[in-house]
A and B are shown apart, each in its own frame.
Chain A
Amino acid sequence: MADLFTYQNSYLVVVIFLALGILLPIVALSLGRLLRPNKPTEQKRTTYESGIDPFQDARVQFNARYYIFALMFVIFDVETIFLYPWAVAYEELGVFALIEMLIFVVMLLIGLIYAWKKKVLRWI
């Protein structure tokens, strides 16, 4: 049973973080509600939009291209993240890692070509 308890105990940290994460906003917001004075006016109730008068509905439809662009960005972001540590430790990793990395880059390249030909990169 000893191993099992060790195993379960290591989840204790997760539980603590979870509890903290939930408690923090609840406590902060309800404490603020208790402490602050509450005198609403019409002006105060408007949505805060960086000092500009709010217009339109807050829930607008975004162009789906934003999403695909973001996806592309993330993919190449990940590529750099992989490439960087490999470049740093190039000496130790050797030829095998080089080949692996080349395969990885070529795959992403095919992906890029695909996105390009499917006109993802063109903004209307």
Chain B
Amino acid sequence: MDMETLLSYEWSMMAPEFTILIIATVLSLVDLFADKKIDRKLFGWFGAAGIGIALFFLFSQIGHEPAMILANTYRLDAFSLSFKILLLIGALLVLLMGVSYEAKGELLYRGEFYYLLMSALLGAMMMASSADLITLFVGLELLSISSYILAGTRKKSTQSNEAAMKYVINGGISSAFTLFGLSYIYGLTGSTNLADISREISNIAPENGLVLLSVAFILTFVGLAFKISTVPFQMWAPDVYQGAPIPVTVFLSVVSKTAGFVIILRVLLSVFPFAQGLEANTSLLQSMMIFISVLAGITMIAGNTVALKQRNIKRLFAYSSIAHAGYLLVPFVAFSEMMFESMWFYLAAYLLMNIGAFAVIQVMSEHSHSEDISIFAGLFYRRPWMAVMMTIFLLSLAGIPGTAGFIGKLNIFIGALFSDPSRYILAAVMMGTTVISYFYYFGVMAQMFMRPSGSAVPIRMPVGVTIAMVFCAAGTITLGLFPGVVLDFFQTQFNFAEMFY
């Protein structure tokens, strides 16, 4: 590759990534050389500004023709753009929460939190716009390794250390699975480039490579299931979510999970729809859907039933997060024409309601130095606004009409029923487990409205987390009442057919 081709690339396509990269580097250097007395919270605002700039670049790219640079390894298309918007907004809100996070002397190196978050975000963004197995994997690992460290940021807390350790070990196993699966794909097609693979793969004669390809599918999926915490790779989530600092927990449950779905869609949809399936005239992806649907069903059941027993609010939300990952697999299994739309919308709704709920949890658990569900007792009589916002988030998570979560579930539902073949069993499981989920969400609500409050100490609400909370509440309601606005924008601006080569 010579200088000329290098200069001929449209580098502005990567402007959002460059912005984040520069911010991360600058922050890490400034953190090293700046005086100890300088409040590291400034970093958070600086990082937030950086994400804002990246978002600006991203929005200016909407409507861009699908294009690839760097020897077809970096791809700009509707898929990457739309999901990167979610990743950036999610990270921005996490950053705002992080600025307000106080952990009584356990957060020794505050600066690290901000630039590791940035590098994790960079990894997630790379996952969204890579068109090559190698860069995808590098993005995945960048996200993972940053997250491992982030989980252990509360250095003096044994729980946080335990969380980091468990996360590393399980992450290592999952990476091994994924790589093993990807190696099969490479072995069968002779290329790591997704565009090449999707061309090559249809040439594989069924009697030769089919079994290997099916095994590759399962290996890759199970490996990536770690990131989205679905069965059989969901066990780490409760322990890690509980141990990690709250902003990191949110990051793992929202941004990291979104990135996980992004990579699953990107890899599996670029490769397997083009391979011959087990039966004639079907694609391998269709043949494999039955396994994914079973996994999705077990995930929903496991997440929602185990959540019933939890008293620790972070653990409860970990199981809830597992359940939501199960819901999110339903449109993937249904594979209707509305798949992208419903997954994107649900992820957006989940982002808003989950970050919002965690913002309230953060305020309350810092106030009472506990994570038991009883910290919410009588919240309505102490901070009515905050209780109302938490109610909005809980209702949305439970999928009650009027909120974003309901529209998201409705989308998924209709997709599952109107697809061909229709996935009514999965839809039924989703409905049943949603009903189960009412119990624990309303348990929290009952605490807020129907218990007397224990103390009368005023609850402190730092500015960052309040902004996040209000934004999420407004977003949840807006998406719930006027989903047409977002869905119309989505349908007119993003054409997902671009994703395929």
Contact = CB atoms under 8 A, between A and B. Distances in A.
Interface in B1-16: 1-3, 6
Contact of A96 (B6, B33, B208, B211): B6
B208 A110 contact: no
A94 B2 contact: yes
Contacts of A114: 28, 32
A29 B479 CA distance: 71
Contacts of A2: 208
A32 to B, nearest CB: 37
Contact of B29 (A94, A99, A110): A110
Secondary structure of the A contact surface, majority rule: helix
A94 B32 contact: no
Interface residues of B, number: 16
B467 to A, nearest CB: 31
A91 interface: no
B207 to A, nearest CB: 6
A4 B32 CA distance: 54
Interface residues of A, number: 14
A99 B3 CA distance: 10
Contacts of B209: 3-4
Given A94-B3, A96-B2, A96-B3, A1 B29 contact: no
A95 interface: yes
Nearest to A1: B207
A113 interface: yes
B32 A117 contact: yes
B401 interface: no
Interface in B260-286: none
Interface string A103-114: 000000010011
A117 B205 CA distance: 57
B126 to A, nearest CB: 15
Contacts of A94: 1-3
Contacts of B205: 3
Nearest to B184: A7
Given A2-B208, A3-B208, A4-B209, A117 B2 contact: no
Contacts of B493: none
Contact of A7 (B1, B2, B32, B212): B212
B72 interface: no
A1 B29 CA distance: 56
B370 interface: no
A10 B212 CA distance: 15
Contacts of B25: 110
B2 A4 contact: no
Interface of B: 1-3, 6, 25, 28-29, 32-33, 187, 205, 207-209, 211-212
4 interchain residue pairs of minimum CB distance: A117-B32, A3-B208, A96-B1, A95-B3
Given A1-B207, A110-B29, A114-B32, 4 more contacts: A4-B209, A94-B3, A113-B29, A118-B32
19 contacts: A1-B207, A3-B208, A3-B209, A4-B208, A4-B212, A7-B187, A7-B212, A94-B1, A94-B2, A95-B2, A96-B6, A110-B25, A110-B28, A113-B29, A114-B28, A114-B32, A117-B32, A117-B33, A118-B32
